[in-house]
Amino acid sequence: MTTGTGTLTIQETFLRPQAALPPPPTRYALFAIVMALAVLLHLGTIGIGDLYSETEGQYAAAAREMIQTGQYLLPTNDSIPRLQKPPLLYWLIIASYKLFGVHTAATRVPIALSVVATAILTFLIGERLADYWRGFAAGLIYLTLSGTFIFGRIVMPEPLFSAFFAGAIYCGLAGFQQRRQRRTWFAGFWICAALACLTKGPHGMILPGTTFAVLAVCYHEARMRFRSLLWWPYLLLFLAIIGPWYIWIEIHFDGAFHRFVAEEWTKHLIGRYPNGTWYDDVPRWQFAASHLAWWFPWSVAILPALIFSWRRVMRPREISFQDALPMVWALVVLVPVLVIGQRQDYYALSMFSAFSLWAAMIFERASNSLRNAGAAIIALTGMIIGVIAVVLPRIVPVNERDWGETDFRWTAWKALADMPASVWLQFRPLLAIAAIALLLGAIATVYLLRRGREKIAVVGLACGLIVFGLCMVSGIARIAPFFSLADAARFLNGRLGTNGQVLFEGSPGVASSLGFYLERKFAMVNQEPDPRIPLTGEQRNLFLDEKAALEHWRVPRPVFLIIEQDRVTYWRELLTQHFHVYHQVASFGTYIILSNQL
């Protein structure tokens, strides 16, 4: 070696170059752009559209009810305990209600902040894996994925879980790179994992732990450094965070809670209800194929590079720790979801950051010709969407059909297949705008590449995708009346008076948005309570058979019954037979409201 030239230790090799010098102003500007865009797209749109039934209504109604009852440890819907998930998201929604009031936008605040946090963490992880340009590209890709626009707005645990998962990955990576602060960073890993467990369950620890375990198996240096992640005080810290609530809920239900959780996990892992019924909400092939759409347009933008320059962009013979981390992270989430017996469209949301980091790496290493090819495919997609917008009235079925039963269209595929022609026609303006946005975004990317601005080429596509994503947000809001009982609840709130009653024929999940928007409790008709959950007599009285519902109908006070439109014939005959009167007062989406008052 040349005299005076010092050698770097392995420890120093993995330290970020930025650790010695302050980051340049460009880095702060790029970080600010990602953060501002995340705030604009997600906090700026929290008031668009009503909450859907099922997950959104369940969390919103339970949080409101917890405030009303003062019982902050036990989530309930219409006074019925809801134990499927831990309480952290409920608590955050409650905090939002306390700050901003009880309304739709406040319900979405914790979810929007979760997506903002995930975008920021994606930037920071990309910066540690490569540089701030990689972080900038990954952050933009994450924010402009179609799946982020769709699933990042749903009030459910997954966006919050994804933020804590990304936080755990960041803390683990920072601890891997920085020896002096390693114990602090690894403590952050355990805190994020514990909060993820309080959000969704034990896989908050299992998934990030498995990610680093696989990396430790593959890389000697990772094995040496991640060994200190198992320091026993970290386990005590983890238990101190998650233990109190689980202990309280187990005591509160006299030991029944762990059996309920075991049955829930068995249901999801095997794909079978406790009564023996098998089900598969999203088949494996459909789940895998749909992610090409959830990752659009970046799944298309990197496709030419993966096909024609695979060795250059993947470097299979020299996959470094930095390259492997996003891939291992993605596979640790994706593979188990494909293996288990039951899955939903959004079950892999926590690996969207990993995909974004990986796609940023591929796009960065691709040649300009292959980047242009990816942009051209996106432009072609925009043209096809534009053609569809023009010819849509000619290709939709002539014979109008109605929506099917609400309880059977809670996946993206089923909802699209069930959508009537009239609803598709409402999307024509949005399809036209989206087509133009994709085309202009692709043109901007090609222009930037020709001008030698490769580092910011992703901005062109991202700008087009911002408009495309906002069109999706608007489209989801437009069909909310077919998935939400918000309009029905608003109609009833002004007509119930002091002693009016609402009956709903359907499951508690489908009725959940009614629980949030309606200003009083309601009873459910032709539904049985979950036998696994101990209920009081008052709670059991909320589940009525038809005979009990007819007895309520006789009472001289306003009683309203909400039914699906395909049940109209049955209830018309039943009510006419008993009371010689059938009075239909309103319809919202696929729901009909009947009344015992003329």
List, in order, residues 6 or more apart from 176 with CB less than 8 Å away.
14, 182, 222, 225, 226, 321
Q: What per-residue confidence (pLDDT) applies to 398?
A: 63
Reported as a pLDDT band with limits 50, 70 and 90, residue 9 is very low
Task: Map out the domains of the chain as residue ranges.
Answer: 10-45+83-365, 385-479, 486-595
pTM: 0.92
**Beta strand 591-595 pairing with 523-525:** unpaired
* Residue 80, strand partner residues: 77
Q: What's the whole-number mean pLDDT along residues 138-146?
A: 96
Question: What confidence category does residue 363 fall into, taking pLDDT thresholds of 50, 70 and 90?
Answer: very high
Neighbouring residues of 239: CB distance < 8 A, sequence distance ≥ 6: none
Q: pLDDT value at position 540?
A: 85
pLDDT at 18 over 60: no
Cβ-proximal residues to 70 (8 Å cutoff; 6+ apart), any chain? none
Asked whether the beta carbons of 103 and 331 are under 8 A apart, the reply is: no
What would the two tokens of residue 310 be? 């695979």
How is residue 542 written in tokens?
Answer: 């909320």
As a whole number, mean pLDDT of residues 33-50 equals 95
Is it the case that residue 286 has pLDDT exceeding 50?
yes
* pLDDT tens figures, 295-314: 999 999 999 999 999 999 99
Give the residue-averaged pLDDT of 104-108. Answer: 96
pLDDT, residue 327, reads 96
Q: Six-digit token pair at 4?
A: 């005076």
Contact 249, 257 (CB under 8 A): yes
Does residue 11 have a pLDDT over 60? no
Which pLDDT value is given to residue 528?
A: 85
Whether 221 shows a pLDDT value over 50: the answer reads yes
Answer whether residue 257 shows pLDDT above 80.
Answer: no
- Cα-Cα-Cα-Cα torsion 277, 282, 286, 291, nearest 10 degrees, comes to -160
- Closest Cα partner for 461 from 372, 389, 333? 372
Q: What share of the chain has pLDDT > 70, as a percent?
A: 93
Q: What is the pLDDT at residue 278?
A: 57
526: left (phi over 0), alpha (psi -120 to 50) or beta: left
Binned at pLDDT 50, 70 and 90, residue 279 comes out as low
User: What digits encode the pLDDT tens for the residues 47-92?
Assistant: 999 999 889 999 999 999 999 999 999 898 888 888 888 999 999 9
pLDDT at 264: 72
Cα 127 to Cα 121: distance, rounded to the nearest angstrom: 10
Is residue 46's pLDDT more than 80? yes
